[in-house]
Chains A and B, each alone.
Chain A
Amino acid sequence: MSEEDQLAMKKRVQRLVYIAAGGKIKEEELGHYGTDLRNLGLDSLGYLNLLEGLERTFGVVIDLDHEEDHSFLHTIDNIVRFVETQRGKAA
């Protein structure tokens, strides 16, 4: 994936997080893609909405029971890497 595509994907995930949080996290706060989303206030309901959004937007399956380490959901950078990997596996 090119840098340009990766940046575009990060912006899509950023938007998904903003929507998932119901606007409680400001979009500019989400602009630092390495920031831990939990520290920004993404709560369990926000994560539920985010996971739904990620599955529907990118067509990936996220099964937390089969992922021992959940740090792939902690930052936008990590989420993008996870989605890329999942899509690679599917292809």
Chain B
Amino acid sequence: MESLARGPIQDAMTDALARHGGRRAMVGGAESLTYGELGGRIEAAARRLRESLPAGSGEAPRHVGFCLGNRPEYVVLYFATLYAGHLPLLLDANFNTGEIESIRGDCGLDALVIESARVEGLAAVGNVGNAEPVAFADGVVLLPLARPGETPFAPRPSTQVCRFTSGSTGRPKCLEFSGDAVVSAARNWVLGTGMTGEDRTLCLAALSNGLAFNTSLLSTFLAGGELHFLKGVPLTRPVANRIVEAGITRLVAFPTLYRNFVAPGGPDRSAMASLRHAISAGAPLWPDVREEFRARYGLDISDYYGIAETGPCTFERHADHHAGLGEPLPGVEIRIAPGAEGEDGEGAGEVLVRTSSMASGYLNHPGMFEARLDADGFYHSGDRGRIAGGRLHLVGRTQDHINVAGRKIDPTEIVAVVSALDGVADAVAFPDEDLNREALVHLVVVAAREDAREELTRAEITAACRSRLAPYKVPGRISFIAEIPRTGIGKPRIAMLREQLNATAKGTMG
């Protein structure tokens, strides 16, 4: 790695590659790489990146957006980008063209790492038509983009990685992380969860997500373990097959997968024999799924707590402890907000977190992150909880965001899209559940015209949302009502609204 760029992440990775050279590092599809082979692939890719994407004036790093599903080439190019002296920005692979374009405008994207099949679909993103994609392995290309002039925001000099959270009005918020913060998150995860070189982690969560990024990517390599990806759709059959075939010890997945495991006809106990940790995040895990999983497989699902802005916060290491979200990881301090607006009579209040893996700020929303830090540098999470027995227990949210599969959605963004439509007099969006208990956005609309046909209006609204919002923000349920109950200051009374809708539904059914 001589003559390539250095920084905290590269230094930690170079050390890991040297220490574990002959061990197997990564498996995905038919591909298997040792640490030595991985290092060679990273180095070669870094040199190609430098050739095809030279540093800007004054050796300014190029901004490389990753918009790609999990696979070995993602890992190779992520580290290669760092070794090339560039800045990786890890986008949600489900971001639509509008969101990618907004990131390009806000943060400046010099290139996108995508599947070659997506190049045509991204024609709306700046100057794609003139760019010549650079092909890498496994159908992945680097697609150079033209910068849209001066971008309004410049990353901090210490920033080594950017990740995104859902923003309002179609502008994802870009979180900046220093190399020290990224390395700290990985080291603390290794230390706090007892990860070793014998661990084989099957990561099914997207690497752009904090869960996968912090629990699987650098941490696995620092420990000298193996990182496995599954090609294709994460159905329980191939997941169970991979666990058995590879002797997977850690499964990093999302609640829906665990629910499917315990559904009738799911894999039997032998499928999980090698597993030591089943980790769930992204959305709250259903308590009955956790219990059924324990009963069927004899293993607890670790429902860890992490925040995009702070990194991993807690983990339960004790198999015989079944309540709460575990104890704080090394480098993590948790407080419950004191005072009249914080802690309630039962010890619950807003969860405040300070970690050594905190983001530095939002690149494209200056001051917004800093505004959520208290005088001691603790981050206001927006979650309500309490500490009991040294463990964190969450009891709810203090904010109005809707959490759909781990993506926080600002309901005002949806309401803004819908309110702009002809025939809509009022609207509100709030969290609800479908019949499978999956979180969804429930949109309630007041039609301006009494004669508006509900079916037509629902179709119109859905079509408008699909054209202007990311797929996961499109309301899963749309209801119509004569008037939305509101407080004196105009805030919607969601509890009252739910009661009205339930009463209407019961009336319709009965």
Contacts and interface: CB of A to CB of B under 8 A. Distances in A.
Contact of B232 (A52, A56, A64): A64
A61 B471 CA distance: 27
Contacts of A45: 256, 405, 438
Interface in A9-25: 19, 21-24
Contact of A52 (B29, B236, B472): B236
A51 B434 CA distance: 18
Interface size class on chain A is 20 to 34
Given A51-B233, A61-B237, A22 B440 contact: yes
SS class, residues of chain A in contact with chain B: helix
Contacts of A41: 462, 474, 476
A22 B231 contact: no
A49 interface: yes
B233 A48 contact: yes
Given A22-B476, A56-B265, A49 B234 contact: no
Contacts of B440: 22, 24
Residue of B94, B231, B476 with most chain A CB atoms under a 10 A cut-off: B476
B434 A52 contact: no
Contacts of B232: 63-65
B167 to A, nearest CB: 21
Interface in B245-288: 256, 260, 263-265
B189 to A, nearest CB: 27
Contact of A19 (B238, B435, B437, B477): B435
A22 B438 CA distance: 8
Interface residues of B, number: 29
Interface string A32-43: 000000000101
B435 A23 contact: yes
Contact of B471 (A43, A48, A51, A63): A43
Given A19-B436, A45-B405, A45-B438, A55 B237 contact: yes
A5 to B, nearest CB: 22
Contacts of B264: 56
B235 interface: yes
Nearest to B466: A41
Interface in B184-199: none
Which of A52, A61, A65 gathers the greatest number of chain B CB atoms within 10 Å?
A52
A22 B263 contact: no
A52 B435 CA distance: 16
Contacts of A52: 235-236, 260, 263
A64 B476 contact: no
Ranked 3 nearest A-B pairs via Cβ: A22-B434, A23-B435, A56-B265
12 contacts: A22-B433, A22-B435, A24-B477, A43-B471, A43-B472, A44-B471, A48-B234, A49-B436, A52-B263, A55-B235, A56-B264, A65-B231
Interface of B: 29, 94, 231-238, 256, 260, 263-265, 405, 433-438, 440, 462, 471-472, 474, 476-477
Given A22-B433, A41-B462, A56-B263, 20 more contacts: A19-B435, A22-B438, A24-B434, A24-B440, A41-B474, A43-B471, A43-B472, A43-B474, A45-B256, A48-B235, A49-B256, A49-B260, A52-B236, A52-B260, A55-B237, A56-B265, A62-B233, A63-B232, A64-B233, A65-B29
